[in-house]
Amino acid sequence: MNQNQFLIALVVLACFIFGGNCAPPDNANVTVKDYCIKETGVSGEKVKKMEDESLEELDEDCYCYLHCIFITLKLIDDKGNLDVTKTLKEFPDFDEECLKKVPKIMECTDIAAVDDCES
């Protein structure tokens, strides 16, 4: 499994942990997945390929979708800081010291920095 596939698997796992029904506080009837598809404009087909790991390479649309997931799950604050404690709680396979060094995640593609923290 490459790093992109690992990150995708972790995001899918997080949505599963939250029952697929974790949603932004202002809309309790929308899943995080559906919310982030709508917010980012990524196609449902591309998300499905990400989930089943058949997508060869992640592009900016994919990174924006993953960025939305991390923000919605409150793993990234509004200043772009990754919450290491919350991230480790959801994804214990990440390397803590590496996560502490992840720079601010302000742009969609910045979420790729988390890939390097796979243990």
The answer to whether the predicted template modeling score (pTM) of the entire model surpasses 0.85 is no
**108 contacts 63 by C-beta, under 8 angstroms:** yes
Class of domain 31-116 (CATH, top level): mainly alpha
CB-neighbour burial class of residue 72 (10 A; exposed 0-12, middle 13-18, buried 19+): buried
Calculate helix-pair angle for 60-72, 32-40, nearest 10 degrees.
140
pLDDT value, residue 51? 85
Q: What is the pLDDT of residue 118?
A: 75
pLDDT tens per residue, the chain (119 residues)?
555 555 655 555 555 444 444 555 565 668 889 999 999 999 999 999 988 888 888 899 999 998 999 999 899 998 999 999 999 998 898 999 999 999 999 999 999 998 788 77
The CA angle 52-105-29, to the nearest 5 degrees, is: 55
Provide the β-strand partners of residue 82.
Answer: 76
